[in-house]
Structure 1
Amino acid sequence: MSDGTTDREVALVTGANRGIGRGVAEGLAALGLAVVIGARDPRRGEETAAALRAAGGDVRAVALDVTDQARVREAAKEIGARFGRLDVLVNNAGITGSGQVPPVDARDQVPSTVDPDMVRKVFETNVLGVIRVTNALLPLLRRSPAARIVNVSSHAASLTLTSDPDGPFTALPPSAAYTPSKAALTALTVQYANELRGDGILVNAVAPGYVDTDSNGHTGFLTVAQGAAPVVRLAVLGADGPTGGFFGAEGPVPW
């Protein structure tokens, strides 16, 4: 990134070189924001940024592995040098933990037989990664007049939905990694919202729905644009918008 400033609002989307993250980056760019794509693979990040620039967006990429504290700090430094602030942080980067895709096999997350190392790996990305990135970017977010943080969660994070014996989740194998990690993320969202409320920073979690992506072996029934839409909506909330909430495309998701 070269030194400079912009009058546009600035957004960072982690894990944005494909899937929902790319859809969110595209949606925010279409609304006129300057978008920074965070990607573990610098080449893929640059390719995605170039494609979105070709479509008319103000988009650039930064190398960002949410499990690498040094890389996270370096990315924050680069964004600070380029823009001086950050208005929107979308914590999208996440992993399912269920093998390589395609296909996805959720049976290896059954609590009674799960490998604890796999659970640790999932939490390292889906929960601790959010803490690393958020804390590293908070100084820049506090320079924004109306900062928003959006954590990309899942309907699987809802204890109400997953504990319903007649609900849709009973057909799926129980999960000791991905589902609990997203439940922890929604709980973490509330805690950040409570801490940052006085700073005027809105913090919310969103469940995009079952989107057709690599992470589920393209079995989802929603398009990337449909899944990205509620994330984008929360990312551009006005100052009077909600904070500490959990939302989907149709409105609040039960805890």
Structure 2
Amino acid sequence: MSKDKKVALVTGGNRGIGYELVKQLALNGFKVILTSRDSKRGQEVTQKLKESDLDVSFVGMDVDDQACIRQAAITVNERFGRLDVLINNAGVYLDENEKLLTMDASILEKTMATNFFGAYHVIHSFIPNMEKHGYGRIINVSSGYGEMREMSHQGVGAYKLSKLALNGLTQLVAAEIKGDIKINAVCPGWVSTDMGGPSASRTPKQAAESILWLATIGPEGPSGGFFRDGKPIDW
């Protein structure tokens, strides 16, 4: 196996868009680390991909558990020595039709814990590895629901706020990082996954393609942007 392969990590890689991202990265010559909180399922999926001759490894990581994230970062550093691409894909959608002011506060707290703080702690733990090598591409899988104008319509308030915060984090980190390290947010569109439901119009493969171009942008590529299908969209 080539030592020159770039290393990519995908959170929540055991199903849906995350699984498709892992697969497509491996097909495009990356050494891929699949992480998920469900270790059994994560290992099964990794094994299946390996049987298709794809260079995929499994590392257990629950993005709601800071100690677990820190340990995963140590493991990745020891086993791979580098991390070139980080995709924060793990997310939850817990709202259903509840209003922000009448829902159980734990729904908002759990949503923020995974969708915002999870991504924050993953970036915080893995970015030193990128800084050490002076290179990195970070992609936050966000949503059009995180656009500021969406806040003026009621519904899915916990999810919207978590993605609005993730979008803000994307911009703040872009303003702080040095060297050839880029961070961007992407809206994959409405995708037919467990989260998106069966009537969604896009396949996970289409969604993965709309995200993956940011994994290979050159030093002149964007940072601190928000994209859908390769085009900038409003915050």
TM-score range, shorter chain: over 0.9
Rounded Cα–Cα distance in structure 2 between residues aligned with 1:209 and 1:216? 9
Distance 1:25 1:144, change over 3 A: farther
SS of aligned partner of 1:118: helix
Q: Which amino acid aligns with 2:170?
A: T
Residues 19-168 of structure 1 mapped to structure 2, 5 A cutoff: 19-98=16-95, 106-108=96-98, 110-160=99-149, 162=150
Within the alignment, does 1:193 sit opposite 2:174 as a pair?
A: yes
SS of aligned partner of 1:188: helix
> Which ranges in structure 1 are unaligned for 5 or more consecutive residues?
99-105, 165-169
Query: Between the two proteins, what is the percent identity of the paired residues?
Result: 40
Contact 1:40/1:65 (8 A) holds in 2: yes
Q: Which amino acid aligns with 1:43?
A: K
Match of 1:176 in 2: 157
How many Å apart are 1:51 and its aligned residue?
1.7
How many Å apart are 1:81 and its aligned residue?
0.6
How many Å apart are 1:163 and its aligned residue?
6.0
Once the two structures are superposed, residues 89-124 of structure 1 have per-residue CA deviations (whole angstroms, 9 ceiling, x without a partner) of 0000010113xxxxxxx212x123122111011000
Match of 1:209 in 2: 189
Contact 2:191/2:202 (8 A) holds in 1: yes
SS of aligned partner of 1:60: strand
Rounded Cα–Cα distance in structure 1 between residues aligned with 2:101 and 2:107? 13
Rounded Cα–Cα distance in structure 2 between residues aligned with 1:30 and 1:179? 33
Q: Which amino acid aligns with 1:67?
A: D
> Which ranges in structure 2 are unaligned for 5 or more consecutive residues?
none
SS of aligned partner of 2:133: coil
Rounded Cα–Cα distance in structure 2 between residues aligned with 1:250 and 1:136? 28
Contact 1:208/1:228 (8 A) holds in 2: yes
Q: TM-score, normalised by structure 1?
A: 0.88
SS of aligned partner of 2:132: coil
How many Å apart are 1:5 and its aligned residue?
8.8
Rounded Cα–Cα distance in structure 2 between residues aligned with 1:145 and 1:231? 22
Distance 1:250 1:135, change over 3 A: closer
Among 224, 242, 245, the residue aligned to 2:222:
242
How many Å apart are 1:143 and its aligned residue?
3.1
Q: TM-score, normalised by structure 2?
A: 0.95
SS of aligned partner of 1:32: coil
SS of aligned partner of 1:201: strand
Residues 4-15 of structure 1 mapped to structure 2, 5 A cutoff: 6-15=3-12
Contact 1:21/1:93 (8 A) holds in 2: yes
